[in-house]
Every structure is written in structure tokens, then in C-alpha cells.
Amino acid sequence: MPVPYNLAAEIARRLSKGADIADLNEALAPTFHDERPVPPPVPARGEASDDAVQKRVQFLEELAGPLPHLSGKAPQPSAEDLAGNIENMIGMTCIPTGIVGPLRINGLHAQGDFYVPLATSEGALVASYSRGAKVVTLAGGASCLTTVEQVQRAPGFAFDTMAEAIQFAAWAVGEFDHIRDVAERRTRHGRLVNMRVQPQANFVYLILDFYPGDAAGQNMVTFAAAAVCEDLLQRTPVTPRHWVVESNMSGDKKGTSLSFLDTRGRNTTAEVKLSRSLVEEHLRTTPERISEVWRMSLVGGIQTGSIGVSGHVANAVAALFLACGQDVACVSEASTALHRMEMTEQGDLYVCVTLPNLILGTVGGGTRLPTATESLRILGCLGDGRAAKFAEIAAGLALAGEISIIAAMCTGEFAQAHQALGRPWQKVE
């Protein structure tokens, strides 16, 4: 994405963590078995029995501690416990949760081998991501990097005339330092990092960009933007006829071209290089065939006006969000992505995926729900200081899924897998 100059220094500071940014090469480099042994696979893989479930729970509890809610041993939370997460409660919706891994991530914030919980009712999904995770891990892991982290609110103001609107817009631009101070008095963790002004005849839109800390940030930026608007209304040289705290220009809960270029959430990229032998042995196809199918899907996406082009990133985002207590409606923006699959000069396969709108967090919101807390704990992503790590794991997961689905398309296994795993009770005539 194009990065405004005023954000470049802050991004560099966060990426370097006070060290030489050249150290990124070492952090993101592949790590193979001889450097770091691959941990064991998920036990009883592919087995659908209560005994297999218990084996997997026991395995994860040895890594992450007790999982009473995911395993169903603890009682459901009370209505009082869920105040702030639900109104007019009648019960709980149960979605089965599976585990993918190990998935090796070589990121600036996420380093290691992860077992990733996914909540879904789609048969074949966990199996597909498991295959992709295995291939990525055997290739030395996914190199992952989170760069821009920002969430927007876009207040809108209506005036009687265009002249009044332009007067307000010109005045507001000169008030940025004061606006930033007002916004940051309303939040302990967020920071206003940028403001863009968009006049449209007698309307003025202010797009406020906030660094959200480790929260997903939607409520945080709403409260801060409301405080900004109230302050502006008290001091403005020209009073608007009416205003709203969100003018539908922030990209909240929808895929937009502006967010795709500019980031709403956490902009995270993952890449991996798969050797020819790895592609042929584990994906049962070739780098040539994968790159051909990718090119066809790219052209198809362009013809349909897709914002970004990917295979099924929404599957990764939705299942991970459900498991980890994220705002699932944000899948509409978080799943906008761009993937590439290209042959290298050596005949291997280079794969990458960029998710510019990963709006997720490790504190607040649904992260306090019992099963979400346990899922985030399995990932080592519960609490402060872990949101960028969570984003890098999400990007590595999406990368694994893109590899697996395109390979399945290449070999004709896509329909077969859904028949075998998604409808095991239904025999093919």
C-alpha cells in the first residue's frame, strides 16, 4: 500500500523495535528442521471420535494449560458474565472448533510453531488448512510482517453552502494538533496518527486514522471521534446544519477500495518459497500448473471487479475470528486480500498473500469470552502486546489455505475433498 510520509517514521520505529531494521532479514528467514525441529502433528488427525477429541484436548492442554470451556467440561457462562457482549440473551450457539498445525511462522512479532484453532461448520476446511500448514512448515515457515496498524472513524458535517463547507475544512486542517490532543484524552491506548479531509459540495468528511494498540479498536475510535466532533462544534467558525460520527467513509464492516489501498486494521503480509520437490510430493502438482491456475483466477477476479484477488481468505479469517472472539462482521473487510503464486528462476514456487485490513485484537470485546480466551491462549496471543503477533499468525494461516485450495484446483481434488469430508454420509453413485 502507498504509505504517507508522516506515517513512515512511526512504522519504521515499530518494525525495528529499537534495533537496526536490517535485522528483519534474520527474523523473517526460513527455519528448517535441522535448525529447529518441527513439533508433533495434531494427534489422531482425521479421526472423528470422542476418544480422538480427548487426545487432542490433552495434547493442547500440555502446551497451553487447561481448556475447560473448549472441551465442554466447564458450565456455560452466565448471562451476567456476558453483559456487554450480548443483549436479550436466550442461550449459546455452538460451532465446532478444530485445530490446525503445527504452522511455522517467522515473523517480526510471531516466531515459532503454532497450533491454530478454527471454528467452522464447513467440512474439509480444517483438513485443507492442515495440509497447507504442513507444506508451509516443511518449507521453513512463512515469513510474516505487520506494518501499518490503524483504524478509522469518518465523521461527516453538512453545511448550507459549499463556501461554508470549504471554510470549515480549511479551519479543521489547521486544528490537527488540538484534535489529536482531544482524541487521546478519550482513550488510554489509541493515538490519532493522521486526519484526511474530503469536501463534497456542502458536505465535509473527516477521516480520522487511529493507532489502536492491541484492541480491534472499533469502539475506541468511536468514542474518540465523538469527543473530537463535540470539541469542533464548540469552536468552529461556521456551524454545520447537522453531523454524524460515522459518515460511511471509514470502511467499517465492508470491503472498500479505499481501505484496500490505505489499511483499516493491521496490514500484514506472509510469504513462502516452496521447492519443486515439496510441491510435487505433498501437493501432487507442479509449480508450473499452480502458477497457471493462479493467473487464470487473477484474470477472473479482475473481470468481476473483485477488491483484491484471493482464493478463500475469508475462510481463514471467519474461522479464526469465531474461535478467538473477534467481531465476525469484520470479515467483510478483513478478508480483502491479494495473493500471488509465481515460479522462480530456479523452478520453485513463490507464494505470498497480503491482508491490508486485518481488524483484530487480543484485548477487549469478545476476547474475554471463555472459549475465545482459551483459543487465544493456545496461540500465545492473549492480552496486551500481542495483536501484531496475532495478525502475523492470521496471515500465515491465510497463506497456507491459499496454497492448499489452488493445489486442489490443479489436481481436481477440490470437489472430491468436499464430497469425502463435507458429506461423508452421502455416497456418490
Instruction: Please report the DSSP string for 175-216 in residue order.
Output: THHHHHHHHHHS-SS-EEEEEEEEEETTEEEEEEEEE-TTB-
- Known catalytic membership, residue 47: no
- Known catalytic membership, residue 327: yes
CA distance 264 to 250: 8
The catalytic residue among 164, 209, 252, 327 is: 327
Peptide bond into 102 cis (omega under 30): yes
The catalytic residue among 246, 288, 342, 418 is: 418
Whose cell is 473448549? That residue is 70
CA distance 84 to 82: 6
- Known catalytic membership, residue 342: no
Strands 242-244, 338-343: pairing kind: unpaired
In Å, how far from its chain's centre is CA 75?
30
The catalytic residue among 10, 122, 184, 348 is: 122
**Residue 103 host element (H or E):** strand 97-107
Whose cell is 500440555? That residue is 62
- The amino acid sitting at 155 is P
Burial of 171 (0-12, 13-18, 19+ CB in 10 A): middle
> Long-range CB contacts (< 8 A, 24+ apart) of 234-238?
235/175, 236/168, 236/171, 237/167, 237/168, 237/171, 238/159, 238/164, 238/167, 238/168, 238/171
CA distance 342 to 33: 25
- Terminal CA-CA length for the chain: 50
CA distance 312 to 195: 33
CA distance 338 to 307: 9
Show which residues are catalytic: 122, 327, 418
